[in-house]
Amino acid sequence: MRRYIKIAVVVLIFPFWCQAQDKEVLTLPEIIEKIDQNNLLLKVYGDRAESYKYSADAATAWMPPMIGLGTWQTPYPFQDVMDPRDKGMLMLRVEQEIPGRAKLNARRRYIESQGNAELANRAVTFNDLKAEARKQYFSWLVALQKISVLRKNEQVLSMMRKIEEVRYPYNQSQLSSVYRSDAALENNAAMMQMQVGEIERAKGTLNALMNRQGNEDFTIDTTYEVRFLPVSQIDTTSLAVERRDVLRMNENIRSMQLNIEAMRLQRRPDFRVQFDHMQPFDDMMPKAFSVMGMISIPFAPWASKMYKSDIRAMELNIRAMETERAAMLQETQAMLYGMQNEILSMQKRINAIETKVIPALQKTFDANYLVYQENKLSVTVLLDSWEALNMMQTELLDDKRRLYQMIADYEKEIYR
């Protein structure tokens, strides 16, 4: 009866246990997509760009009309009024400013361009976040590869320790050999724990970039292959199209040019219409009105100095930004060529270690292990060959991690 109860409990619990064991698997493109959709910093730029659209609509609005009510030609109190016509009038005034449509449209275009500049800032920030996500993803990937190597090492070291324990009672090994095997096992376990910590750190960073809880559990696609696709020809023209910071600078220059255009239109006059209605206090007096049109004179010397100086200052700023853009593109071009050569050199080094150095060390260890099993070799010599192999495997994975970080930085600089 107890047996049947245990089976029933296992059948009921097993589906929930399997569900608990399943983790969300996220590929690198999926992580980048979630960052694009959910990252709070990117939402800030989107909201700012949206706000400029409403500000641009508000820029085309007219000033509200002014309405005034008061007296006109009314004598002060306690004075003798010789004629009832001298009692004055009650005056109603309505005044409306009529701006030029060209001025309003120029102002609207300038404000809209500031929204485009915010979107360009978002693109720059998103490129930085993508680069950070790639680095964390690659760190996680290398940590998993290191754990796989350390688990194989653990199996080998455990077997060596068991052999030493069996041989020690028969005086075929020394006690120090057993202790050294224990130390190698403990060191291997500590290194494995370090890689687990590296994975948790990368997981927390990626969760933060995706605007999720830092401890939300998921795993990555371990089949992902990091590939380096060098640009065949790096020129300033292609960089000016690809780089987000150049796009941001272009939008800022365009915004300043539109502002200059709006300021130049300040030379055009503004208009104002004023209507006055007079209601006399004496019924014998007729009602009267006054209509007046006014025009500003912005080209007067004491008034034109303001917008002329601002225009000149912005023109100089635009010239400085264009020079800065050219210098930045030339510097980036040289830097990318250097990064590209460095990545290719690192790939050659990694290929040499994988195809020549590690196979040779592996054959050395395998040969020593066979001799060790025949009790013709001490565990000290075997551990020395294992440490050489393990050190080179660790160095290889460290080089891969540096290579992946270099590739992430290279792609960041191209699209920055």
pLDDT digits (tens, 9 = 90+) for 322-350: 888 888 888 888 888 888 899 999 999 99
Alpha carbon distance 304, 290 (integer Å): 31
Which residues lie below 8 Å from residue 315, measured CB to CB, with a gap of 6+? 260
pLDDT of 165: 67
pLDDT of 416: 67
pLDDT of 174: 63
Inform me whether the pLDDT recorded for 212 exceeds 50. yes
pLDDT of 413: 82
pLDDT of 184: 80
Inform me whether the pLDDT recorded for 60 exceeds 80. yes
Q: Residues of the chain with pLDDT > 90: what percent?
A: 23
In this structure, the chain runs to a length of: 416
Inform me whether the pLDDT recorded for 274 exceeds 90. yes
Inform me whether the pLDDT recorded for 15 exceeds 50. no
Per-residue pLDDT tens digits for 70-97? 988 888 887 877 777 778 889 999 999 9
> pLDDT-derived band of residue 4, with 50, 70 and 90 as boundaries?
very low
pLDDT of 170: 55
**194: helix, coil or strand?**
helix
pLDDT of 12: 43
> pLDDT-derived band of residue 102, with 50, 70 and 90 as boundaries?
confident
Closest CA to 61 of 99, 4, 110, 115: 99
Closest CA to 394 of 196, 211, 242, 191: 191
pLDDT of 112: 87
Closest CA to 210 of 137, 139, 123: 137
> pLDDT-derived band of residue 176, with 50, 70 and 90 as boundaries?
low
Tokens read off for 54: 């409403």
pLDDT of 9: 40
The DSSP element (H or E) to which 174 belongs, if any, is none
Q: What is the mean pLDDT of residues 159-173?
A: 65
Model confidence, pTM: 0.78
> pLDDT-derived band of residue 380, with 50, 70 and 90 as boundaries?
confident
Give the DSSP letter string of 264-287. Answer: HGGGSPPEEEEEEEEEESSTTSPP
pLDDT of 52: 86
Tokens read off for 160: 């060596």
Q: Residues of the chain with pLDDT > 70: what percent?
A: 91
pLDDT of 33: 92
Inform me whether the pLDDT recorded for 259 exceeds 60. yes
Alpha carbon distance 244, 239 (integer Å): 9
* Kind of pairing between the strands at 271-280 and 89-98: antiparallel
Compute the mean pLDDT over every residue in the chain, rounded to the nearest whole number: 83
| Distance in Å from the first CA to the final CA of the chain | 69
Class assignment of domain 21-414?
mainly alpha
pLDDT of 164: 67
pLDDT of 70: 92
Alpha carbon distance 67, 96 (integer Å): 9
Alpha carbon distance 86, 78 (integer Å): 14
